[in-house]
Amino acid sequence: MRKNILNSPQTAIYKDKGSKFLAFAWPVKSEEEIRMHIDQLKKEHFGARHWCYAWRLGETGENYRANDDGEPAGSAGRPILAALDAQTLSDIIVVVVRYFGGTLLGVRGLINAYGGAAEMALVQAEIVPMPIPRSLVVQMGFEQLAEVQKVVNDIQFKPTTVDYGESTVQMYFEADIDRIEQLTDRLHRIYGVNLKPETDELAEN
């Protein structure tokens, strides 16, 4: 399933029994960016008690972490992560900063607060499908060129480069995975056309 991403940063505030939970959500591309945001929040909110967070990275969200930062195990990081997963998000970090209000909330109260703060930030955010770039090389003889060009024109997909050899033609395409798959599906039906994706595995019809 294609993941979603944040289009821009978002914040929210959740309050319970005097404690304030400040949620900060950012789109990110690397663990270096994640550390930068966490470190910056710790400087800006040095008087807070906890800086709990969850993040996911990758096309499938395969890289992730949830951190309770001193709160009872499973009461902070996991609820934040659950809020990310409810929106099928990746390439994102959500940090919830807690200012303690003097009253203990218990594990259930913390789960509601951390998860609720993260959910509030994400509900307000603009969420869009994650772009997944792919490239494709289409190799053919001149006898297939007209048929391939008709397919390309039909789906309004312009190649980035076209190389004409002595006996073959190579078209290079770069686009989102959905567009590449649409093109591949049509060209697979043409005998004699070779499709070479970015994995460099040559498939011949």
Instruction: Choose among 50, 28, 64: nearest CA to 113.
Output: 50
Return the pLDDT at 203: 39
Q: Does domain 133-204 have CATH number 3.30.70.120?
A: yes
pLDDT band, very low/low/confident/very high, at 198 (cuts 50, 70, 90): low
Contact yes or no for 54/61 (Cβ under 8 A): no
Give me the residue label for tokens 């076209």. Answer: 162
pLDDT per position as a tens digit, 167-195: 999 999 999 999 999 999 999 989 989 99
> If residue 136 lies in a helix (H) or strand (E), which one and from where to where?
strand 133-141
Q: Is the pLDDT of residue 15 over 80?
A: yes
CATH number assigned to the domain covering 4-129: 3.30.230.30
- Map out the domains of the chain as residue ranges: 4-129, 133-204
